[in-house]
Amino acid sequence: MKVHNFNAGPAILPESVLKQAAQAAIEFNGIGMSILEISHRSKDFQAVMDEAGALTKEIAGLGDEYKVLFLGGGASTQFGMIPMNLLETNETAGYSNTGTWAKKAQKEAKLFGNVAELATSEPDNYTFIPKGYDIPDTLKYFHITSNNTIYGTQYHGYPVSPVPYIIDMSSDMFSRQLDYNQFDLIYAGAQKNIGPAGVTMVIVKESLLGKVNRQIPTMMDYRTHIKEGSMFNTPPVFPIYVTMLTLRWIKERGLAKIEADNKAKADLLYGAIDSNPLFKGTVAKEDRSWMNVNFIMEDRSLEPEFLQFAKENKCIGLAGHRSVGGMRASIYNALGIESVQFLVNLMDEFAKRKG
Ligand SMILES: *Cc1c(COP(=O)(O)O)cnc(C)c1O
């Protein structure tokens, strides 16, 4: 490992995945060509697409009523595609506003129908996950953001929805064991926790679709991509390949081990933040994210010096999102606990110097 990579996204990938991807970029499957040079309709790539979809369903424990798609456009395109496909102009969808991405999703939905903001933590700088609100059964669907990448909050226990349940899992997909069947549509930009930039995983229950009257552009219609197996047009071949390799890595470890490792990393880092007198957390303890750990310094004027110190010691990507400042350590699946321990040691060392 060259550095300790705490980038928020695009982010760290397993080293074994990078090596296989590098090899495939030179020559794929012994066919005398790079994966970058072959037809997406070749049998070699079809096998990749099929395996990526099958692994997704297997890891999530989902049945055939769910379809797995690999699309371009990022998770941000899903913000609009979801209401375009599911919400009539005169219908209302429910959203919980827990951060920048949740709010952006809500904004796009308003272009297609009515939005009820059922809960929000925006007035409190998104420092907690709202709980205990009512989700009316008259809504067309209910949308939440599982992990708030920028603010460092995450659902630990989801509300129960009486209507179709939609979740943005961009920054915590396959980070823990879950009943994925409780959701009707799951989407995730791959570049945080399950692959590289350029592809978005969408898992959708087919029975949700085909119920709105509006004309949907062919490329924006989920049914097009279901029918064509994510190959209506040229899909992002290489990002899908790297995602498939990452899914193999996830399956091999199993979600139980991945969850245990992620919990251990989060406990170690939050423990240091709470016990080191120089540092403190920024969000409600019960809602702390296991993926993005936000923290600040008691004396905020010391933050640039700490970030510089971390950088000199090969800890990369620790500056908080430009909209919130402070520090953010993203500790996704592929980051080893030794990197977290290294950061904790640096925090101790910094405290000694200042103490
Ligand atoms: C990064 C992120 C997005 C946006 O993803 P893009 O693929 O860049 O569009 C959406 N939701 C969440 C939770 C994210 O972390």
**pLDDT digits 0-9 by tens, 27-39:** 999 999 999 999 9
Question: In the structure, what pLDDT confidence band is assigned to residue 197 with cuts at 50, 70 and 90?
Answer: very high
The answer to whether residue 10 is domain-embedded is no
- Pocket residue to mutate for ligand 1, from 171, 185, 294, 328, most atoms within 8 A of Cβ: 171
**Ligand 1: residue whose CA is nearest its atom 14:** 170
184 and 116 within one domain = yes
Q: Output DSSP code: residue 36.
A: G
The answer to whether residue 54 is domain-embedded is yes
The answer to whether residue 2 is domain-embedded is no
- Find the domain containing 258 and state its range: 254-354
Instruction: Quote the CA–CA distance of 75 and 341 in Å, as a whole number.
Output: 32
Whether 290 contacts 283, CB under 8 Å: no
Cα-based distances in Å from 4 to 10, 17, 85, 243: 14, 17, 41, 21
Whether 258 contacts 176, CB under 8 Å: yes
Range 143-155 average pLDDT:
98
- Domain end (from 219, 253, 287): 253
Residue 132 is predicted with a pLDDT of 96
Rounded to two decimals, the pTM is 0.98
Residue 191 is predicted with a pLDDT of 98
Q: How many domains does the chain have?
A: 2
Residue 323 in this model has a pLDDT that exceeds 90: no
Nearest to 140, CA basis, from 84, 71, 77: 84
262 and 206 within one domain = no
The answer to whether residue 154 is domain-embedded is yes
Reduced DSSP (H G I as helix, E B as strand, rest coil) percent helix, strand, coil of the chain, to 5: 40, 15, 40
Specify the CATH number for the domain of residue 281: 3.90.1150.10
The answer to whether residue 124 is domain-embedded is yes
Question: In the structure, what pLDDT confidence band is assigned to residue 182 with cuts at 50, 70 and 90?
Answer: very high
What percent of the chain lies above the pLDDT cut of 90?
98
The answer to whether residue 5 is domain-embedded is no
* Residue 148, helix vs strand vs coil: strand
Q: Where do runs of H (alpha helix) occur along the chain?
A: 15-26, 43-60, 74-86, 100-109, 222-227, 237-253, 255-275, 303-312, 337-354
191 and 54 within one domain = yes
With tokens 């090596």, the residue in question is 19
Residue 60 is predicted with a pLDDT of 98
124 and 193 within one domain = yes
* Selected catalytic residue, list 67, 140, 192, 265: 192
Least confident of 189-198, 223-232, 284-293, 316-325: 316-325
Specify the CATH number for the domain of residue 144: 3.40.640.10
The answer to whether residue 90 is domain-embedded is yes
- Domain end (from 253, 280, 302): 253
- Pocket residue to mutate for ligand 1, from 97, 103, 106, 149, most atoms within 8 A of Cβ: 149
* Residue 3, helix vs strand vs coil: coil
Apex CA 253: angle with CA 250 and CA 257, to 5°? 110
Residue 327 in this model has a pLDDT that exceeds 70: yes
Range 261-270 average pLDDT:
98
58 and 190 within one domain = yes
The set of protein residues with a Cβ atom below 6 angstroms from ligand 1 is 9, 74-76, 101, 145, 149, 168, 170-171, 189, 192
Residue 192 in this model has a pLDDT that exceeds 80: yes
Give the position, in ligand 1's atom list, of the atom nearest the Cα of 147: 13
Cross-strand partners of 204: 67, 185
Question: In the structure, what pLDDT confidence band is assigned to residue 355 with cuts at 50, 70 and 90?
Answer: confident
Strands 4-5 and 92-97: unpaired
260 and 173 within one domain = no
328 and 196 within one domain = no
270 and 121 within one domain = no
Strands 114-120 and 142-145: unpaired
Whether 57 contacts 220, CB under 8 Å: no
Whether 166 contacts 160, CB under 8 Å: no
Question: In the structure, what pLDDT confidence band is assigned to residue 1 with cuts at 50, 70 and 90?
Answer: low
Residue 105 is predicted with a pLDDT of 98
Apex CA 125: angle with CA 116 and CA 196, to 5°? 85
| Other Cβ atoms closer than 10 A to 12 | 25
The answer to whether residue 4 is domain-embedded is no
194 and 72 within one domain = yes
Nearest to 171, CA basis, from 19, 279, 332, 24: 332
- Domain end (from 253, 278, 298): 253
Instruction: Quote the CA–CA distance of 319 and 294 in Å, as a whole number.
Output: 9
Range 304-333 average pLDDT:
96
Residue 2 is predicted with a pLDDT of 84
DSSP code string of 247-269:
HHHHHHH-HHHHHHHHHHHHHHH
**CB burial class (10 A; 0-12, 13-18, 19+) of residue 355?**
exposed
Whether 233 contacts 70, CB under 8 Å: no
181 and 278 within one domain = no
Range 257-283 average pLDDT:
98
Average pLDDT score, the chain: 97
Range 22-27 average pLDDT:
98
320 and 182 within one domain = no
* Selected catalytic residue, list 67, 101, 172, 184: 101
108 and 41 within one domain = yes
- Half-sphere exposure of 180 toward its Cβ, with a 13 Å CA cutoff? 27
pLDDT (tens digit per residue) in 101-142: 999 999 999 999 999 999 999 999 999 999 999 999 999 999
